[in-house]
Amino acid sequence: MSRHNLAIPVVFTHRIVFTRDVFAPENPHLADILVEGGGRRACAFIEQAVAAAWPGLAAAVPAYFAQLAVDFRGSTVLPGGEAAKADATLVRQVWETLDQVHLDRHSYVLAIGGGAFLDAVGFAAATAHRGVRLLRFPTTTLSQDDSGVGVKCGINGYGKKNWIGSFAVPFAVINDFTFLHSQEPANCRAGLIEAVKVALVKDAEFFTWIEANLSALAELEPTSLETCIERSALLHARHIASGGDAFESGSSRPLDFGHWAAHKLESLTAYQLSHASAVSVGLALDTLYSAGCGQLATTDATRILRVLDALGLITYHPALEWRDEAGRRSVFAGLDEFREHLGGELTVLLLKAPGIGINVHHMDEPLLDRCIDELRGRCADAG
């Protein structure tokens, strides 16, 4: 009996659009995507804070669909923020709505909101009918320059970030820059941490550009902000598309630089510490650690911390000091969880230089202690 072993690649199309006023009647981008897909029905889920900031949005969405041959089945406004991912409540609400309006696998779910909202609605869309076409409309800096263009969706569970979830390539991601300007300035700036991160691990020239444009970025000058977000989003998307491990079946996750500590800090603080701020702290910690273990030049570490300071991003949080019953820093459990999540071998990306990373499989906790002490000292000096 003959046997044939096949290894056939499965190809996905990852559409990403950058525009303004996507629901303006004269804007063709969404219409072109819908016509290309040929879907017959659609409905929208809008984050509550977005609906409040843009009161005309609820009318603009159905008005846009009125000119198309797609049956729009209504908009639902739901609460967002990290609470949307705390349990399956929002996911079930989306499932119930999709069932009630009779959306099928050839229909479209529009998700309009920040990263946590997109994660929860996206998970519902990915699991309804084993996948309803998802159109993401990220509305925050953080979701436009990072999470919104990814292929992950999920909610938190068992005290862990994104423990329940799926990989599902969205039918399209539409970054509408108009939404950015409804954010609080501090939140808008904080979201730039993911642009700094991807520059550090993927593109030294982009990091140099960020350094050269720090004043404009700190002031949220629109052209510089939008350029930064677009470059970051495309770097993230290109890694997903051409990095060789789009669905993270291996142990190397370069886009998670600084995230082992960030995810743990979020859960330790019951998600009172935002993802952006947690990543900023985690990135600062792993930058100092990279220098402390001899991988990264001290001058480069100083450059990186200077960028974080200039953007007004935090590099320390008191939760770094919290300890478990054995006296170990509680944040170090993030290393254990990272190891388990990655299949048993700890793999953490450190920096050799901006744009150049290196994977390590061990983190020295006494050295991490010293790095945290240094971050605390920097915070005290700044205060």
Domain assignment of residue 256, yes or no: yes
- Compute CA distances 207 → 58, 192, 248, 254, 316, whole Å: 38, 12, 25, 16, 22
Q: b/e string for 33-61 if b means 16 or more Cβ within 10 A? A: bbeebebebbbbbbbebbbeebeebeebb
> What's the pLDDT at 35?
86
Give the separation between CA 181 and CA 179, rounded to whole angstroms: 6
CATH number of domain containing 228 = 1.20.1090.10
Q: Give the percent of the chain with pLDDT over 90.
A: 77
In a domain, 304, yes or no: yes
| 147 and 86 belong to one structural domain | yes
Report the 10 Å Cβ neighbour count for 310. 14
**What are the tens digits of pLDDT across the range 315-350?**
999 999 999 999 999 999 999 988 876 666 888 999
pLDDT score, position 5: 74
202 and 87 within one domain: no
- Domain assignment present for 10: no
Do 31 and 167 have their domain in common?
yes
CA 13, CA 25: separation in Å to the nearest integer? 26
Say whether both 242 and 93 belong to one domain.
Answer: no
Same domain, 47 and 164: yes
Q: Can you give the residue range of the structural domain that contains 71?
A: 16-182
| 1 domain residue, yes or no | no
pLDDT value at residue 248: 62
8 belongs to a structural domain: no
> What value does the mean pLDDT of the chain take?
91
**How many domains does the chain contain in total?**
2
Angle of helix 204-212 relative to helix 193-202, nearest 10 degrees?
A: 140
Q: How confident is the model at residue 149 (pLDDT cuts 50, 70, 90)?
A: confident
Spatial neighbors of 262 by CB under 8 A, at least 6 apart, are 275, 278, 279, 281, 282, 283
Q: Is the pLDDT assigned to residue 147 strictly greater than 90?
A: no
- ∠ CA(349), CA(352), CA(358), 5° rounding? 30
pLDDT band at residue 4 using 50, 70 and 90 as cut-offs = low
Q: Can you give the pLDDT at residue 340?
A: 77
The answer on 204 and 176 residing in a single domain is no
Q: Is the pLDDT of residue 22 over 70?
A: yes
Q: What is the pTM of this model?
A: 0.91
Residues in a beta bridge with 46: 77, 112
Does the residue 31 lie in any domain?
Answer: yes
| Tokens standing for residue 25 | 């009647």
Residues 177 and 37 grouped into a single domain: yes
Q: How high is the pLDDT of residue 223?
A: 96
What pLDDT, on a 0 to 100 scale, did the predictor assign at position 13?
Answer: 83
Classify residue 4 as exposed, middle or buried by CB count within 10 Å of its CB (0-12, 13-18, 19+): exposed
Contact 329, 323 (CB under 8 A): yes
Identify the pLDDT of residue 246. Answer: 62
Span 41-66, pLDDT tens digits:
999 999 999 999 999 999 999 999 99
Task: Indicate whether 191 and 339 sit together in one domain.
Answer: yes
Co-location of 151 and 283 in the same domain: no
The C-alpha atoms of residue 82 and residue 273 are separated, in whole angstroms, by 10
If asked whether residues 141 and 277 sit together in one domain, one would say no
Of 182, 203, 221, which residue sits at a domain end?
Answer: 182
Residue 6 maps to a domain: no
Whether 11 is in a domain gets the answer no
Which of 132, 149, 182 corresponds to the end of one domain? 182
CATH number for the domain that contains residue 170: 3.40.50.1970
DSSP 87-103: SSHHHHHHHHHHHHTT-
What pLDDT was estimated at residue 14? 83
Sign of CA dihedral 63, 66, 67, 70: positive
User: pLDDT tens, 80-123?
Assistant: 998 899 899 999 999 999 999 999 988 999 999 999 999 999 99
Look at residues 182, 211, 239 and tell me which one is the last residue of a structural domain.
182
Same domain, 222 and 253: yes
The pLDDT score that the predictor gives to residue 256 is 85
Tell whether 163 and 211 lie within a shared domain. no
